[in-house]
Homo-oligomer: A and B are copies of this chain.
Amino acid sequence: MVKYEAQLDAIFTALAHPARRTMLARLGKGEASVGELARPLDMSLPAVTKHLKVLERAKLISRSRNAQWRPCRLEEAALNAASGWIEAQRTVWESRLDRLEGYLHGMEKSERKKR
């Protein structure tokens, strides 16, 4: 549980920067080199590398050890963990709204009977 929480901390922290979101959006289209990821971003290569490390620590991306250009690739599992947490909250609040709606509907019915 603690490990899962720490993982979510790392994932949401990584998602909290526009440059890192831009990189992830690019990697959604397919593997890319560091140079390719840096191109649309107005920042130095060391800054890009720093952001990539944050994404790697959160397991949102991985880097190939084999190819010489070491392409980065998106790891969907981490994004799924993040959306999974939000979806779990949605299930709770939607069932609450359903109950509330049911309650109001019941009240309306009994009001009509009284008339």
| A positions within 8 Å CB-CB of B | 5, 8-13, 15-18, 21, 24-25, 28-30, 74, 76, 79, 82-83, 85-87, 89-90, 92-93, 96
- What's the number of copies of this chain in the assembled complex? 2
Q: Which residue of B lies closest to A15 (CB)?
A: B12
With A82-B86, A83-B86 already in contact, the answer to whether A92 and B15 are too (CB < 8 A) is: no
- By the criterion CB–CB under 8 Å, are B28 and A89 in contact? yes
- By the criterion CB–CB under 8 Å, are A9 and B17 in contact? yes
A78 to chain B, nearest CB (A): 10
- By the criterion CB–CB under 8 Å, are B18 and A16 in contact? no
- By the criterion CB–CB under 8 Å, are A18 and B28 in contact? no
* Complex contacts, A83 vs chain B, CB 8 Å: 83, 86-87, 90
